[in-house]
Amino acid sequence: MTMTDTDRSFATSLRPGAGWGWILAYGIVSALLGLAAFLFPVPATLAATLVIGAFLIASGLVSIGAGIFGKGHEGRGYAIGFGLVSLIIGLIMAFEPATGAISITLLVAVWLGLRGALEIGLGARMRRRRGWMIALGVLNILLALFVLATLPWSAMTLPGYILGLSFLFGGITAIASALDHKKGASAFSI
């Protein structure tokens, strides 16, 4: 391969519109997952609880192992303690999903609020689709406030609805950006 071939392949990879299909695929998958979560909120909530519980269980076991078998470091007690807390919370989320759903509901509220603030900040700097991104940010902040206002009775369905709406609108925004990018515009232009 000559230097010219390398330069040409690098330039081709940076051409306007390159990679738009990946953005489109992300948008379609996100929109479909959002629609599924919105249509089936209880299973979506339980699935999120079980996945997070499994991650905490795995993290707890590894941390306990690091504390027990990791010789010669001063954080062994911390690793074991942190591992036990993670393991216990993970087991609660896996075997008491309603309790875990309340915790997830609070985490979703925080996540939506932070995501919304970031989207508004990005939207304010974008040239194209500014309104879409700002609207998505406002929607996510309003959803976060709604989550907090309806606790605890709605914890089994609300995370599913919230995740569904967020993924659906995020997917639509990504699809629109991918189609702009295909025409040569910068994706999520700033």
Report how far residue 1's alpha carbon sits from residue 44's, in angstroms, rounded to the nearest whole number: 50
Q: What is the pLDDT of residue 163?
A: 79
pTM: 0.58
Q: Which amino acid is at 94?
A: A
Residue (of 99, 101, 62) closest to 82 by Cα position? 62
Helix (H, G, I), strand (E, B) or coil at 79: helix
* Distance in angstroms (rounded) separating the CA atoms of residues 49 and 43: 10
Sign of torsion over alpha carbons 173, 121, 147, 54: positive
Through-space distance between the first and last CA atoms of the chain, rounded to whole angstroms: 36
Decide: 30 and 163 in contact? Cβ < 8 Å.
no
Is the bond leading into 152 cis (omega within 30 degrees of zero)?
A: yes
Per-residue pLDDT of the chain (190 residues; tens, 9 = 90+): 555 555 445 444 556 677 888 989 999 999 999 999 989 998 988 888 888 899 999 999 999 999 999 887 778 899 999 999 999 999 998 998 888 888 878 887 898 999 999 999 999 988 888 899 999 999 999 989 988 998 887 788 877 887 788 899 999 998 998 888 888 777 666 5
CB distance 173 to 27 below 8 Å: yes
Residue 190: the pLDDT is 57
Distance CA 55, CA 69 (A): 21
